Every structure is written in structure tokens, then in C-alpha cells.
Amino acid sequence: MINMLLHPDGSGGALQESRRMFEVDVSLLTHESKRVRLRDAGGEHGLVAVGVGRAGGRGFQLLHRFAALSERLDAAGVNLVFVYPAQSARHVQDALSVMAARYRNKPCLLLDEAGLFFGDTLPPQRHSVMRFDRHMACVETLEIDARETDWDSRLGEFLAGVLADSA
């Protein structure tokens, strides 16, 4: 599979061969304890999945931080989801995160309870982002180190690019 890989040093744009970062047909757990596959969480025009490594942020914090972009993406038919590994259940199933997900009224915080979604172990404080079209074909990817001071603006720029492409 060929994906667009944007590098942390800003040298993105070059096509490189890379493996699929996520197993999209694995069953994930929603805030309502329902099982969904990633394709079931997609919008009419696609999906952006953010894999959140251990210590990469609590669910309600990420939903709040990217709420405005998420709403604009929703309006454009693209859903934004944050997927956590099984070890981070307390970061996505705590009371505040569950309330934030209920407010969104759709799958947006997902837990890889079986430990099969992430092809490799996602390093701590790492975000792996994949953008899918409506047929679940990967359009582009991004790796972000959450320890960098500008990680949230880099993710915001990526999401804004998705929004621009969807217009």
C-alpha cells in the first residue's frame, strides 16, 4: 500500500511506501459499550482516525481541543475518531470522556479492547493519523509526537487540509 507520509521535520509531500498503520476491520468498543468497525464510524465522505498512544491524552481533552474542526468535518461528511489501545481504557472510558462522547452523539472515542487494531504497538505519547475516503481506502497518513510543543497545531493543520479537500 502506498500512503502519503508527512514527516515531523516538515519534509512531507513525498510518496513513500509504508504499511497500513491500523487494521480497519477490527471490532472496537464505543463509549456505549457497542462494538463497531472503523468503517461503521465513517462519515458520508470519509473518516479521519487518530490512534492515540499511551499517555497521548484523555478522550475528553482531545474531543474538546478539536471540537470546532470536528464539527466542520462532520458538516462536510467526514467523521473524526480517536482510537485508544486497550492499556488506555481509563483515558477513554472515564466519566468525563464518556459524557463528551455522548454529547457528540456518534462514535468518536473508540477502544481497541482486543489489542488487534494497531498493527504494531503504538509508542507512548504518539499519534498515528490515517485519513480514509468513503470506501475506506487510505488517502494519507501522519505521525505526531505528542511531546512536541506544536503537536496540536500540526494535527489541526492536517484536519484543516482534510476539510479543504472535502469542500
Q: Which grid coordinates are listed for 68?
A: 470546532
pLDDT at 20: 54
Residue labelled with grid coordinates 515531523: 8
- CA distances 86 to 22, 33, 54, Å, are 14, 13, 9
Q: Rounded to an integer, what distance in angstroms lies between the CA atom of residue 63 and that of residue 42?
A: 17
Nearest CA among 108, 94, 30 for reference residue 66 = 108
Instruction: Using alpha carbons only, give the angle 116, 117, 121 rounded to the nearest 5 degrees.
Output: 80
Q: How many CB atoms lie within 10 A of CB 103?
A: 11
CB burial readout 105-115, b (16+ within 10 A) else e: eebbbbbbbee
Q: Give the model confidence (pLDDT) of 38-66 as tens digits.
A: 989 999 999 999 999 888 889 999 999 99
CATH fold label, 2-166: Glutaredoxin (3.40.30)
Q: Average pLDDT across each block of 10 residues of the chain; the chain has 167 residues. List them in order.
A: 37 39 89 92 94 89 95 95 93 92 91 87 88 93 93 96 90
Domain ranges within the chain, ordered by starting residue = 2-166
pTM, 2 dp = 0.86
